[in-house]
Structure 1
Amino acid sequence: MAESFAFSIAEKVLGKLGDFVLQEICMACGIKQDLEKIKDNITTIKAVLLDAEKKRSSSEHLSLWLEKTEGILYGADDLLDEFEYETLRQKVVNRGTIMEKVRHFFSCSNPIVFRFRMAHEIKAIKERLNEAKSEMSLFALTCQETEGRAVSSVRETCSLLDSRNVIGRENDKEKIINLLMGSNDRESLSVIPIVGIGGMGKTTLATMVYNEKKDRLSGCCQLKELPRNIGDLISLRCMMLTAEETHFSKERMGSLTSLRILRIIGCSELVNAEGMQSLAALRTFVVFACPNLVYLPLRYLRALENLEILDCEKLDLMMMDEQRKEKDVQLGGGLSRLRYLHILRIPHLETLPQWLQGASKTLEVLRIRQCDNFTTLPEWMANFKSLQKLEIVCCEKLTSLPEGMRHLTSLKEIHFEGMGRSQWDIREDWHKISHVPNIYFDGQDLKSIFNQVQ
């Protein structure tokens, strides 16, 4: 029987979940039990996917369930890529190859940003899998496996391979890396054959090369420009850039159509990143400490789910149309999958940009921190029915909340810190947010305080 796409991606995710390095990372982050629950649910769902694929043409509801399940599995796969990326990032940080400012922000002693978002992502995936598992019982599906499949026969081809356990392949790896990273023209590099009899470690060598090249691209703070043949990495999924270019061109980045995770960090000369327009598969994008950046082509990133824009003093988030001439462009379908947004130290930000309305049905977490000129939350925030957490920190010019806040029925948690107004001033807006279960001002539970006063 031919395997379904959902079945294949489920197997891929389960393979990653069993990786030793990933388990160590999850244990360090305190989320191992959550990952185990995800693994159990995927295992249960995977058992019926072949039967579901066979019957999908006879039931529209089953077909919709399969599509939904595929999307959840994709999300889980991306989540594990994030953890894989974190291992690579830690290698870069530990080697001291990135500026001190970046090292402090992402150091193990300050893991707040990564752990906060990962914990939210894991919870969301777990809840979606629980829902899919519950709905599965509606279709009377039977458990099936592909012929001849045995769990013990799965080969170790995960990209989280620990190269310390591999002996005798270092010279071969370096030769291939030098070939890939050289200045060859695009057309001169097609296929690199790795030939040998079974058991000689060909797959292991290919995995080591893939990991090493990705690792080297992750820590390229000495790089003056992107490698000319970076477009050859058409299957690259995770990348961190710290190059010194002023522009990321379409010619260099246009072929990276499989890229899921991109972090642009400490690019002090970068002005324009319009080459990102072709990154149609991008799910997570972080830009940090790019002081001269003025434009990001966010409206083209239609698959984007997680967005962090941090410490870019010249960036104008209202300027998002292609020619950068008009402001407050309504994106329509753009960013319609965005679930997490974090904005930090963007001086030009005075209110939320109009393009964010494209995420009104999906945004779950909104964090605005240290934006000195942020003065207003727009009334159209009332449309963000999926918003669960709002965090506003050190935005002293924000002096009131919109009336539409009372319509945010999914909102579970609000954090205000360093707002330049006392907690008692919040009473003026209390009727707008009193329905929210958890409200904190400078770490204090406002509901408890107000209840005591009353």
Structure 2
Amino acid sequence: MQCFPGGMRLMNLKKLGVRRCPEPVLPLPEEMSHCYTSLERLTLYGCESLKSLPLGLFPKLRCLTIQECIYFETLLIPDGIENQILTTVESLTINCCNNMISFPCGGIPAPQLSYLSVGACKNLKALPDQMHTLLSSLQAFMLWDCPKIESLPEGGLPSKLSHLLISNCKKLAGGRRDWGLQRLPSLTHFALSGESEDVESFPEEGLLPSTLRWLYFGNMPNLKSLNRRGLQILGSLKRMQIWDCPQLKSFPEEGLPTSLFVLILLDCPLLNPRCRREGGEDWHKVAHVPLIVMDGEAIFDQLYLGSMDPLYAYSISAT
């Protein structure tokens, strides 16, 4: 099917999902353009011929998801009405669109956007321009499997950002010292993962802000140590998860932040034995942490509880 049947009455349509439609027609014929006026949620999944999407068609759109549209290239913002559109958009997700090459020139004017996820866009070379001003309400930003992105936009990330995840973006991760995360007063959750061969010590001094409460990092094959000065500033840290770091040998002699409530270690074969209560050389560095989970085995309040799902351990510690 290329468009809606002509007799359908969709004037009050608020939610629309189009799944694996090989040749969707957007925009719809003029006589059906009223279908867009009330639309709040739009999901396009597996629409192979979709190359672009004119955002000016949807005056009330709140949530937009574009996924596995393999020939999708970019969003379109009509000239001259930048200040009149996207004022209602709160969530934007673009995943698995390998032919996407860019965001609209000049950025995305979406002052209410609070959630942005971009993943598995192999040919995307840059993030939206002027994110720090045009996306002033952004609170959560997820970026993964975008190997050609080399840097954050000029001006950095929005000041209200609280959740940041960057995974498998090797070129971008290489310049992490220039991200300016310490200038983000609301950042509380940060995750970094990927096969970054240059990472031997983490987190670098000056990389993370003192407001951080949750730190997740892994898949770092050459990580050998944790940076003492990079950790010392994290006086609000509650949860830390480390995974797939085969060369990580020990924690800093000064130990981990005293605020830490949950420590999860997965696939760290050199480190895990050192954190055992019985005979572990690093036990004195982690003994103050109420909940420790190592490869599914949990120690809670220093009492061994046996096998435990680490995701469950994380959930019961949420604060």
| Fold match (TM-score > 0.5) | yes
SS at match of 2:107: helix
Q: Which has the larger radius of gyration?
A: 1
Matched, 1:307 2:164: yes
Q: Residues 259 and 404 (structure 1 numbering): CA distance in 2 closer, same or farther, change over 3 Å?
A: farther
Task: Give yes or no for the alignment of 1:383 onto 2:238.
Answer: no
CA contact 2:74–2:101 (8 Å) conserved in 1: no
Contact 1:311 1:345 in 2 (8 A): yes
Contact 1:318/1:354 (<8 A) preserved: no
Shift of 1:216: 5.8
Contact 1:302-1:333 within 8 A present in 2 as well: no
Superposed CA RMSD: 3.9
Q: Is the 8 A contact 2:75 2:104 kept in 1?
A: no
Question: What is the CA deviation profile of residues 405-445 of structure 1, one whole-angstrom value per residue up to 9, with x for unaligned ones?
Answer: 34x22211101111122643332222211111111211123
Residue number in structure 2 paired with 1:442: 295
Which residue number corresponds to residue 137 of structure 2? 281
CA distance in 1, matches of 2:34, 2:65: 13
Residue pairs, 1:73-88, within 5 angstroms:
none
Letter in 1 for 2:159: R
- Distance in 1 of aligned mates of 2:36 and 2:270: 62
Aligned-pair identity in percent equals 23
What TM-score do you get using the length of structure 2 for normalisation? Answer: 0.66
Distance in 2 separating the partners of 1:388 and 1:235: 34
C-alpha distance after superposition, 1:363-390 (max 9, x if no partner)? 1111113222333321121221111111
Q: Which residue of 2 aligns with 1:256?
A: 110
1:392 counterpart = 2:248: no
| Structure 2 residue aligned with 1:296 | 152
Aligned pair 1:210/2:65, yes or no?
Answer: no
Equivalent pairs, count? 254
> By percentage of residues, which structure has more strand?
2
CA distance in 1, matches of 2:90, 2:245: 35
Structure 1 pair 305/375, CA: closer, same or farther in 2 (3 Å)? same
CA deviations 1:139-170 (Å, max 9, x no partner) are xxxxxxxxxxxxxxxxxxxxxxxxxxxxxxx9
Q: Is the 8 A contact 1:301 1:334 kept in 2?
A: no
The one-letter code matched in structure 2 to 1:397 is Q
Give TM-score, length-normalised by structure 1: 0.48
Is 1:224 matched with 2:224? no
Letter in 2 for 1:174: C
Q: Is residue 310–residue 346 contact of structure 1 (8 Å, CA) maintained in 2? A: no
Q: Where does the alignment leave 5 or more consecutive residues of structure 2 unmatched?
A: 1-14, 22-30, 40-49, 306-319
**TM-fit CA distance, 1:256:** 2.2
The 8 Å contact of residues 221 and 247 in structure 2, kept in 1 or not, is answered as: yes
- The letter for the 2-side match of 1:303 is K
CA 432–238 in structure 1, closer or farther in 2 if over 3 Å, else same: same
User: Structure 1 CA distance, aligned partners of 2:171 and 2:34?
Assistant: 41
Aligned to 1:429: 282
1:174 aligns with 2:29: no
Query: Following the alignment from structure 2 to structure 1, what is the Cα–Cα distance between the partners of residues 126 and 205?
Result: 21
Q: Which of 119, 122, 126 is 1:265 aligned to?
A: 119
Q: Residue 271 of structure 1: CA displacement?
A: 2.1
Q: 1:333 to 1:445 in 2, by over 3 A?
A: closer
Q: Shift of the alpha carbon at 1:272? A: 2.1
Give the C-alpha shift of residue 301 in structure 1: 2.3
Change (3 A) 1:356 1:280: farther
- Aligned partner of 2:207: which letter? L
Aligned equivalents of 1:185, 1:241: Cα separation in 2 = 15
Question: CA separation of 1:218/1:439 partners in 2, compared to 1, >3 Å: closer, same or farther?
Answer: same
**Cross-structure match for 2:259:** 410
Is the 8 Å Cα contact of residues 379 and 404 (structure 1) preserved in structure 2?
A: yes
Aligned counterparts of 1:315 and 1:374: Cα–Cα separation in 2: 17
Query: What amino acid is aligned across from residue 401 of structure 1 in structure 2?
Result: F
Q: What secondary structure is seen at the aligned counterpart in 2 of 1:428? A: coil
Q: Deviations over 1:59-109 (max 9, x none)?
A: xxxxxxxxxxxxxxxxxxxxxxxxxxxx99xx68xx369xxxxxxxxxxxx
Change (3 A) 1:299 1:434: farther
1:316–1:349 Cα contact (<8 Å) kept: no
1:284 aligned partner, one-letter code: A
Give the SS at the match of 1:315: helix
More helix per residue:
1
